[in-house]
Amino acid sequence: MSDPLFKALADPTRRVILDELTQKDGQTLFEICGRLTMKHGLGSSRQAISQHLAVLEEAGLVTTRREGRYKFHHLDTTPLRSIVERWPIQ
């Protein structure tokens, strides 16, 4: 059980980022920032969102993929499995 996972999930902005990646996987930084601002009123700077994504990436919840000149962020929920393995859902 990794602490980075819980640290990543503890922040509300990071949970919203995961929600938005659940709605549509594979987004640029610009799209994530746009969704947070327009849909959630979260006016964080691009740098702040970039740092949130780095924390999510460290926890294994987000992976990035380069495609030509573009960079996309993808959701990976597999680290969450460790939670139900630790505290099984009956």
Partner 1 sequence: MLTINVTSVFVDDQAKALAFYTDVLGFVKKTDVPAGGARWLTVVSPAAPDGVELLLEPDGHPAAKPFKEALVSDGIPFTSFAVEDVQAEYERLTAAGVRFVQEPTDLGPVVTAVFDDTCGNLIQIASEKG
- Selected from 9, 14, 17, 35, the binder of partner 1 by CB under 8 A is 35
DSSP-derived secondary structure letter, 80: G
The least CB distance from residue 56 to partner 1, in Å, is 16
Nearer to partner 1, 5 or 73 (CB): 73
CA 65, CA 45: separation in Å to the nearest integer? 22
In 3D space, the residue among 17, 1, 11 whose CA is nearest the CA of residue 80 turns out to be 1
The least CB distance from residue 58 to partner 1, in Å, is 19
Stretch of 10-18, 57-65, 70-78, 81-89 contacting partner 1, by CB under 8 A: 70-78
Stretch of 8-16, 21-29, 52-60, 82-90 contacting partner 1, by CB under 8 A: 21-29
Determine if 43 is a binding residue for partner 1 (CB under 8 A): no
CA 35, CA 43: separation in Å to the nearest integer? 10
Q: Which residues contact 29 (CB under 8 A, 6 or more apart)?
A: 46, 49, 50, 53, 71, 73
- Selected from 38, 43, 81, 84, the binder of partner 1 by CB under 8 A is 38
